[in-house]
Each structure stands twice: as C-alpha cells, then as structure tokens.
Amino acid sequence: MLKLDLTNAKLKEDLSTYQTKVSEAHRWLEDKTGAGNDFVGWVKWPVNYDKEEFDRILKLKEKLKGKYDCLLVCGIGGSYLGARAALEMIRGLYPTDGPEVIFVGNTFSNNYISQVLKHIENKNVILNVISKSGTTTETSVAFRIFKQFIEKKYGEEEAKWRIIATTDAHKGTLKSLADKKGYEEFVVPDDVGGRFSVFTAVGLLPLALAGVDIKELMKGSLDAMNAYSIESIEENDAYKYAVARRILDKQGYTAEMFVTYELQLTMIAEWWKQLFGESEGKGGNGILPTSACFSTDLHSLGQFVQDGRKVLYETLLLIDEMPNDIVFPDDDENLDNMNYLTGKNVSWVNKMAQQGTLSAHADDGNVPNIEIHLKDNSAYSFGYMIYFFMRACGMTCYLAGVNPFNQPGVEVYKKKMFKLLGKE
Ligand code: PA5
C-alpha cells in the first residue's frame, strides 16, 4: 500500500542505532505517557472512534441527499486542511459529480469572502462550521457572515438543518450557539488535536457530504494503525521515516521539501506542512517544512534545489496509479517537433520527468531524497497515508525532545491581533 524508499536519502547513520530511543517514544505513544499525553487519542482512533457518531454522519448524508448542490466548510488549520487535502486528492480539482465544496473561514481576506458570497448567490447551500475551541477568529468572522446569508436566503427555520456544527462536546461559544439555534452537532474529541483530527467528524462529515467513501477511508487508517504500531524500526516504515528525519537534521539539513508530481496533491502538502511545522517547530528547533509540485516548480524552485544552498532534502510522495491517463496524439504536420512522444501515455512522461529529476537532484546535486510510494489516490489510500504521517510525526518529535501536541507559538500573533482589534 505504502512503500518507503531510503536508497537516495544519503543517511550517514544506521537507523537501527536509534532503536532504544524509538522504543521509549513508542511506549509514550502507545501508553499515553509522553509529553502532551492528553492529546494522543488519534493513536488508537481507527479502532476507538465513536461508532454511533459515524453512523449519524452516514444518516445525515442520506437525509440531506438531493437537498444541496454547494457545501460550505468553515474552519481553519486542523479544522480545514485535512478535509480539503482529502477531497482534492480523491476527487481531483474539477470533479464532475457530487456537490461543489467551498472552504471558508480560513482567511480574513474580505475580497475572498465577497467573491464567495457572490458565487453562491444562486446555489443551494448547506454549511458545516468546524472549530474545536469555538472561538477562532477567522472561522467566527466568516461563520457570522455565511450564517446570516443562509438565514436571509432560507429563513431561520430552514437554516436549522442547513447549518451543521462540529465542535467541543461540552463547552465553547460555538457549542452554545449551536445548542441555542438547534443545529445538528458533531464532536471534536477532547484528546485529539486539530492537525490530528482528520479521522474524526472534523474530516469525516464534510467528506461524507461531498460523496467520499468514509468507510474505506477509516479502513485505510485502521490497516495503517496495525502496520505502524510495531516497535521495531526495521518493520515500521513510519518510524524509519521519523528516524531518517532526525539523522538528516543532525547532518545539517534544516528544511524538508515535500514534493508531489500531481497538482491535486498540493493540499496534501499543505496538510503535511501544518502537521510537521506546528508539531515540531518549537524552542528554536525543527526542520522547516516546505513543498513543491513538480514538474511545475522545477521551472521555479528547481534551480535552488539543484544548485542553491545545501539546506534541504526532498521527500517525494509518488502515487503509482492515477486515473484518467491520456495518450499523446500524433500530428501529421509535427510543427512542434513533439512526434517523438506520439503514442506515449502522459503518465509515462510524468514518470520519466520524476526519474530524471531524482537523478539530477540526488546524484548531480547531492540532495538527499526520501521516496514514499502510495498505490493510488483512493479514500482507502488517503486514510492509510494520513495515519503513516501522523505516526511518523509523533515519533520524530519525541525523538527531537519536543511535545508534538501543543502550539504555544501560534498564540503570540493572536494576542497582538486581539489588542489591535480591541477584543477584551
Ligand atoms: O492543529 C491545531 O490545533 C490548529 O491548527 C487548529 O486546528 C486551528 O487553530 C483551528 O482551531 P479551532 O478548531 O479551535 O478553530
């Protein structure tokens, strides 16, 4: 399902020398005894998830069938990126079936909000607002605007079923608002932090409403949980990746570039950046998570990777089977001199670009390359891959002596902003 290849990683230490440390951190994750242990509910979530709530999601999807053509998903950070990453990876960028899905609440851009308001004027809209804290300002600003749009367009009574809230089970502003308004509610579990919450209602509800097979997605997460709950580095690819990151860090690489060769994986990279950046970047430490989509970015960042300062290594996410291949057509005139590719699949061209680039960057440019091969872009594979990265992230942060599950740095901008906004 998922294969990790460290052939070109240029590691100067043997992975197995980290086994004692990995075993210790493994216990922290398994027994909830490490730093941030209040937030490791995601580790066993693929078996422990709330089955009743899962059924309620499927029932709601059935109940709302045919009643909307546009789904607004209002949230930011961990309450946004996972669902968007899944949707784009699984459905592609221009899906021809299922509702249109528009993400809001992830920006203060008045320009964006006005564009969306105009765009949805004549659409049949429902809205899922997602916030664990229930007080995130970006989400709250957008929610008030889109809530009023819905109430004005359909009336207060109809807004009750058109708006669905995903938030804390017991407390918070959004929770009390939803109670008062009579919205259907779903839960962000106490022991699962935002960026680890894709497998909860945070990700599952919008995905189900958009037509993604969430049973398959959870099956993928469960199989990955079983594969990556093994203590031995030798037998656990998530731990191998976690250790490889620590070794490269020690070798002086301060940035990791997450590389894909499919535009519909760009949001996977954004999700990955949040996962590693927010979990690891603390106390003056951490590898800067950055990303590129090749070959597009070979014509921009490619120069730096090949020939610039040697600060980064690449982690490639390669999907072995993508749908919708195209055969390059023949052209009698051949005015563009492209007939040398006639009859070839465009996927083959992409693969050759990837192989050539790997050799150019790793062999000629001496840039370490980690390869992650995923079978396909199905919901199952998405679930499997997400768990792989979450498990690797927990481990790599513990190995670095960092609590992966808090984000104290994020509060600093909020304090300054609140002061300027005049918030008490
Ligand atoms: O990973 C995290 O914890 C954050 O990115 C949060 O998900 C993000 O700040 C949104 O928070 P909330 O769900 O409370 O609105």
pLDDT tens digits, 178-215: 999 999 999 999 999 999 999 999 999 999 999 999 99
Q: From atom 8 of ligand 1, which residue's Cα is the shortest distance away?
A: 77
66-to-62, 69, 98, 211 alpha-carbon distances in Å = 9, 8, 10, 12
Question: 313: helix, coil or strand?
Answer: strand
- For residue 269, give both structure tokens: 């990279």
Which positions ≥6 away from 197 have C-beta within 8 Å? 42, 78, 79, 82, 132, 188, 189, 203
Q: Determine the pLDDT at residue 92.
A: 96
13 is catalytic: no
- For residue 293, give both structure tokens: 């989509």
From first CA to last CA, the distance across the chain in angstroms is: 51
Residue 305 φ then ψ, to 5°: -60, -45
| Active-site entry in 256, 270, 278, 280 | 278
Look at residue 73 and tell me whether its pLDDT is greater than 90.
yes
- For residue 414, give both structure tokens: 């909020």
108-to-48, 143, 148, 358 alpha-carbon distances in Å = 36, 12, 17, 39
Look at residue 424 and tell me whether its pLDDT is greater than 90.
no
Q: Half-sphere exposure of 157 toward its Cβ, with a 13 Å CA cutoff?
A: 0
Tally DSSP H helices, then E strands, for the chain.
16, 10
Q: Determine the pLDDT at residue 395.
A: 98
- For residue 384, give both structure tokens: 């499997």
| Active-site entry in 12, 59, 119, 414 | 414
Residues within 6 Å of ligand 1 by CB: 76-79, 131-133, 136, 139, 193-195, 278, 407
Place of tokens 């949040």: 274
Do 259 and 314 form a contact (C-beta atoms < 8 A)?
A: yes
| Active-site entry in 299, 333, 415, 424 | 299
195 alpha carbon to ligand 1 midpoint, in Å? 7
What average pLDDT does the segment 149-166 reach?
97
Could you tell me which of 30, 4, 47 has the C-alpha nearest to residue 230? 30
Q: Return the best residue to mutate from 76, 138, 407 for the ligand 1 pocket (most ligand atoms within 8 A of CB).
A: 76
Query: Among 144-148, 333-337, 356-360, 412-416, which is the least confidently predicted range?
Result: 412-416
Look at residue 260 and tell me whether its pLDDT is greater than 90.
yes
Backbone torsion region of residue 196, taken as left when φ is above 0, otherwise alpha when ψ lies between -120 and 50, otherwise beta = alpha
- CA 415/CA 333 separation, integer angstroms: 64
- CA 310/CA 306 separation, integer angstroms: 9
Each residue of 128-149: pLDDT tens digit? 999 999 999 999 999 999 999 9
Do 354 and 261 form a contact (C-beta atoms < 8 A)?
A: yes
- Would you list the DSSP string of 86-97? HHHHHH-SS-SS
**Helix residue ranges, H only, 78-228:** 81-91, 110-119, 137-154, 156-162, 173-181, 201-209, 214-227
63 is catalytic: no
407 alpha carbon to ligand 1 midpoint, in Å? 9
What average pLDDT does the segment 270-281 reach?
98
- CA 183/CA 286 separation, integer angstroms: 41
Q: Determine the pLDDT at residue 411.
A: 87
What average pLDDT does the segment 100-109 reach?
97
Which positions ≥6 away from 230 have C-beta within 8 Å? 236, 239
157 alpha carbon to ligand 1 midpoint, in Å? 30
- CA 286/CA 409 separation, integer angstroms: 13
371 is catalytic: no
